[in-house]
Amino acid sequence: MTEAGGATTQAGIYYQNSVAALQLLELLDLRTVPARERVVSVRVDPLRDCSERRPMTRLEKDLVALPAMSAAQLRERWEQAGGAPAPSVPVPLLRCLLAQRLQEKRHGGLPQMVVRELERVAQPSAVVPARVRRDIPLTPGTRLIREWNGRTIGVEVAEDGTFRWEERPYRSLSEIAREVTGAHWSGPRFFGLKRHG
């Protein structure tokens, strides 16, 4: 088990489950994400030495070393990790791909089902179905939890159809979202009841 705050956690590049991969796929689908919510860059910062807490694993040491490597070193390490020549991509992308490859060697790759879905969606002729809007029914007693800027927001659906947050009644989730963020938000979207699209 990885220690909280350890090198792998700090790197921000450690994820090995299909839910994260599918979420990433959704974030990268630029046709359905409004411009202000698109991921436009990902940065991997060099890590502080965490050896005082526990010895770093070989994988963690490899990941920590990546940001300081030159293009030639990255290509050489790529060939050591997999035998094939490194792809001809920009150095920042090669760094991310190498980090992924090293983690896959240690922890295993994505499940085949996820790989097939990613390949299917990547095909130029692939027809991506429009997202189906599913409104989630809210029954009295339902609690909606959302974290916002390090603060946990808990809202309960009341018997009369109103929403209670911090012991105060609100007519809509949008009112609560506006109160929390200080900006206009769709309440159902803020609380994850509706997807983009």
**What per-residue confidence (pLDDT) applies to 53?**
65
Q: Specify if 86 maps to a domain.
A: yes
**What per-residue confidence (pLDDT) applies to 50?**
52
Both 107 and 62 in one domain: the answer is yes
Q: Specify if 133 maps to a domain.
A: no
Both 55 and 15 in one domain: the answer is yes
**What per-residue confidence (pLDDT) applies to 16?**
38
3-state secondary structure of 55: coil
Both 112 and 154 in one domain: the answer is no
* Beta-bridge partners for 153: 146
Confidence check: pLDDT of 25 > 60: no
Both 26 and 118 in one domain: the answer is yes
Confidence check: pLDDT of 119 > 60: yes
Q: Specify if 94 maps to a domain.
A: yes
- Expressed as residue numbers, the domain containing 175 is 143-190
3-state secondary structure of 39: coil
Residue ending a domain, among 122, 155, 173, is: 122
Q: What is the mean pLDDT of residues 18-44?
A: 55
Confidence check: pLDDT of 3 > 80: no
pLDDT digits (tens, 9 = 90+) for 146-165: 888 888 999 999 988 899 99
Give the pLDDT band of residue 139 (cuts 50, 70, 90): confident
The CA–CA distances, whole Å, from 31 to 1, 35, 131 equal 38, 10, 11
Q: Specify if 134 maps to a domain.
A: no
Type and span of the H or E element at 154: strand 151-157
Confidence check: pLDDT of 175 > 90: yes
Q: Which of 108, 101, 99, 81 is nearest to 7 (CA)?
A: 99
Q: Taking the complete model, does pTM exceed 0.85, yes or no?
A: no
**What per-residue confidence (pLDDT) applies to 165?**
93
Q: Which of 179, 183, 172 is nearest to 153 (CA)?
A: 179
Both 97 and 179 in one domain: the answer is no
Q: Specify if 174 maps to a domain.
A: yes
Q: Specify if 128 maps to a domain.
A: no
Specify the residue for token string 């994260």.
20
Among 17-21, 88-92, 115-119, name the one with the lowest average pLDDT: 17-21
Buried b (16+ CB within 10 A) or exposed e, 90-107: eeeebbbebbbbbbeeee
Both 40 and 113 in one domain: the answer is yes
**What per-residue confidence (pLDDT) applies to 190?**
87
Both 28 and 116 in one domain: the answer is yes
Both tokens of residue 108?
Answer: 């295993």
Q: Which of the given ranges, 21-25, 105-109, 123-127, has the highest pLDDT on average?
A: 105-109
> Can you give the length of the chain in residues?
197
